[in-house]
Structures are given as C-alpha cells and as structure tokens.
C-alpha cells in the first residue's frame, strides 16, 4: 500500500509542477479514482495494463494459478472480472520484490543454497 501511495504522490507532484502526465500516470490516477468511487472489478485488459504484463493470457494464468483470488467469469464468452484490490496488491508485491532484488536482498546466504548435485558416472 505504501509503494502505491508513494507512486501516486509522485505522479500528482509531477503534474502539479506542470509536467504532462504519461499514459501510465493517467492509468494510475484513473484506477485511484475508480477505487475511490467504489469500482470493485476490472477486466483482463485493465489488469494487464496495471500489472505491466504483455498479454491478457498472462493475467488469465495468474487467475488460474490462484494469484488473483475472487475473479470470476462474467459471461459465456469467458470474459473475466478481477477484484481491483487483488490486482493492486499484486502490483505492490511485485514492486517490493523488485526493490529488494535491486538492493541485493534476495540473494540466499551460502547455507541456504541447495547442495550441489554430484555428477553421475
């Protein structure tokens, strides 16, 4: 939640300073407005944009693997409705992991690594 608020705060500050909002800025602010208005579900295309993935099939895979719980099919064509809160939580999680990875905090210690396999003879 903190990362999301920081991101939104920086976006608002850039716009207040006269910067032209980028497409990502506009999407981020639109999602915030939707959340404040009570929009609870989004489609796979919107989830794809928020998550920054390349395909709606990736979003469907996340649903099928249980990472976007509460998603449901809207109609016979297979359109999905995904809880906006779950998508935003996943965005926060990905940002947290990315920042830890950038800081080198995800590297396991020597004792945590799996033992090396012996070559077969």
Residue whose pair of structure tokens reads 């990315």 in the numeric block = 98
pLDDT in tens, the chain (121 residues): 456 666 777 777 778 788 887 887 777 777 777 766 766 888 999 899 889 899 999 999 999 999 999 999 988 888 999 998 899 899 988 888 888 877 776 665 555 555 555 555 4
- Single pTM value for the model: 0.58
Burial class for 42, CB neighbours closer than 10 Å (0-12, 13-18, 19+): buried
């Amino acid at each position: 939640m903190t990362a999301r608020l920081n991101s939104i705060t920086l976006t608002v500050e850039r716009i207040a300073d006269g910067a032209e909002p980028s497409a990502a800025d506009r999407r981020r602010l639109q999602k915030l407005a939707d959340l404040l208005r009570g929009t609870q579900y989004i489609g796979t295309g919107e989830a794809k944009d928020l998550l920054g993935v390349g395909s709606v099939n990736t979003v469907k895979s996340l649903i099928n693997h249980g990472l976007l719980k509460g998603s449901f099919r809207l109609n016979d064509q297979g359109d999905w409705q995904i809880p906006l809160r779950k998508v935003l939580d996943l965005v926060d999680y990905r940002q947290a992991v990315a920042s830890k990875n950038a800081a080198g905090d995800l590297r396991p210690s020597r004792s945590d690594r799996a033992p090396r396999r012996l070559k077969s003879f």
